[in-house]
Amino acid sequence: MPMGQMPVLEVDGKRVHQSLAMCRYVAKQINLAGDNPLEALQIDAIVDTINDFRLKIAIVAYEPDDMVKEKKMITLNNEVIPFYLTKLNVIAKENNGHLVLGKPTWADVYFAGILDYLNYLTKTNLLENFPNLQEVVNKVLDNENIKAYIAKRPITEV
């Protein structure tokens, strides 16, 4: 393992680390990375926004000091989460139930893929009041290949 931790992707005997780099690689292989450099840039901007959101949640969720965590949770719940989800919900509406380009991209898959983790960290259903984002997730989960994978993947205990 290049950095001594997971995930690692092996392609033609070469091992690569960094999950987002792996996502970009796979997305290019299956035509979910855009049709040109500008589309790839737009997708990357949305993915980076989602990752920023994930990091803001994780920083609070993994705060070891309960008093500090409690204060940070107030800001997270009252400002950070509504800000990101409201913006992303509008973007999803403008893109016909997708996060960018009005068509399926790896940004949609990435968002759907980390949603359970974000719900776990926040102990809530983040999309309860964001129907356009729920539509993005539903479209991803309705994909036959993804549906088949989810049905047979191993259960991970948290």
- Asked whether residue 157 carries a pLDDT value surpassing 80, the answer given is no
Please indicate, yes or no, whether residues 132 and 54 belong to a single structural domain of this protein. Answer: yes
Query: Residues 11, 74: one domain?
Result: no
Phi–psi pair at 136, nearest 5 degrees: -55, -50
pTM to 2 decimal places: 0.92
The label of the residue with tokens 């990435």 reads 110
Task: Flag whether 96 is in a domain.
Answer: yes
CATH of the domain at 138: 1.20.1050.10
pLDDT digits (tens, 9 = 90+) for 74-100: 999 999 999 999 999 999 999 999 999
Its domain, for residue 23, covers 1-30
Percent of the chain with pLDDT over 90: 92
pLDDT number for residue 95: 98
Where does residue 30 rank: exposed (0-12), middle (13-18), buried (19+ CB within 10 A)? exposed
Number of domains in the chain: 2
Same domain, 11 and 56: no
